[in-house]
Amino acid sequence: MPVSDPHDPGPDDALGGVPEEVRAWLVERRLAVGGGRRVATPERALHELVAEQRRRLAALDRGLDSFDDVLRLLPDLRRTGRETLEVEFYDDRVRLRQRMEDLDELCRDQLLAMRATFPAPEVLEAGLADDLRALDRGVAMLLLVSARAARSTGAARYLAAMLDRGAQIRVATTVPLHLNVVDRAVTVLALGPAPQRGERAEDVILHSSRLADCFARVFEHHWSTARPYEDGAAGDDWSPREREVLALLAAGAKDEAIARRLGCSERTLRRLITGLVARLGADSRFAAGVRAAQLGLVE
């Protein structure tokens, strides 16, 4: 009776579970027999495999050494402290708002926001809860809005709720950008106007503390020249007629001209002006017009 070879796995396909590329590697080096079904000498196969991997590692080390040699030839590259900038591009405002919700949740210290316009009232209302949660967990929120944004539908309720919860809000005649600066590390910036009639948005999110600090300085400059927002002062409860009177007062128009413009008597006009002056806390009709302009009630 023949004696079996302990190294011979037998006629079965001992390499049946081995990937095809490994089987091909063994056959190419004549380490597999029986049509590639089993390893002739496992010890030799293992030795060849280890040796090949060592050769690959040696080649990789030589490549890395070459990179180091090139870098040593460019000492200025290291001294400049260049920073890799991560940018996210968005052409869909819905997706951008979803991303901003994530960033707001990660905000821990400060959020600087500049708004040239506000979105539709339902969108503004939907985002209010997230903004209030940020204020409740101690985020210092500074919101600079344009006079136009403060007068938009739904803005009064949003701004009043934010002000009541501790946000600092100021109003400027115009603001140059629509942006958020999150913890002076991330900047959300709208590059174009809000899209209309199917137009694509042009928005970016910049992950750079250096750029965020630059945008924060722009924000602080405009913040320093803006007026504090007073609950309801630039909101929805000022009628178009009242705003028109305030605009005419700010322009220095006389009672007779204003009454003729409105189509009312001068007595009726004087009662209206007296009420507006008192409501604005001003001491004269001209001061009321100036105050209205500062609050963004008139252009």
Same domain, 33 and 124: no
Residue 198 is predicted with a pLDDT of 59
252 assigned to some structural domain: yes
CATH code assigned at 224: 3.30.870.10
Residue with the larger pLDDT of the pair 222 and 58: 222
CATH code assigned at 245: 1.10.10.10
Same domain, 261 and 152: no
Domain that holds residue 32: 1-82
299 assigned to some structural domain: no
234 assigned to some structural domain: no
Q: Which of 76-90, 97-111, 162-176, 236-250 has the lowest mean pLDDT?
A: 76-90
Same domain, 180 and 198: yes
Residue 126 is predicted with a pLDDT of 86
Please name the amino acid found at residue 134: A
Q: Which of 59-68, 140-149, 185-194 has the highest mean pLDDT?
A: 140-149
Task: Give the torsion sign (CA, 52, 54, 58, 64).
Answer: positive
Residue 196 is predicted with a pLDDT of 60
Same domain, 251 and 147: no
CB 87 within 8 A of CB 167: no
Same domain, 77 and 27: yes
Quick check: 186 pLDDT over 50? yes
pLDDT digits (tens, 9 = 90+) for 153-177: 788 888 888 988 899 999 888 888 8
Residue 15 is predicted with a pLDDT of 66
Residue 280 is predicted with a pLDDT of 78
Residue 8 is predicted with a pLDDT of 47
235 assigned to some structural domain: no
Domain boundary among 205, 228, 251: 228
Same domain, 21 and 114: no
Quick check: 4 pLDDT over 60? no
Residue 220 is predicted with a pLDDT of 93
Residue with the larger pLDDT of the pair 298 and 130: 130
Question: Got the DSSP string for 71-92?
Answer: HHT-HHHHHTT--PPEEEEES-
Residue 37 is predicted with a pLDDT of 64
Count of domains observed in the chain: 3
Same domain, 222 and 111: yes
Residue 5 is predicted with a pLDDT of 47
CB 150 within 8 A of CB 236: no
Same domain, 90 and 173: yes
Same domain, 213 and 127: yes
31 assigned to some structural domain: yes
Same domain, 192 and 96: yes
Beta-sheet strands, E only, within the chain: 32-33, 38-39, 86-90, 110-115, 140-146, 168-172, 179-182, 186-190, 203-207, 227-228
Residue with the larger pLDDT of the pair 174 and 73: 174
Q: Which of 181-185, 252-256, 294-298 has the highest mean pLDDT?
A: 181-185
Residue 287 is predicted with a pLDDT of 83
Quick check: 1 pLDDT over 60? no
- Write phi, then psi, for 186 (nearest 5 degrees): -130, 135
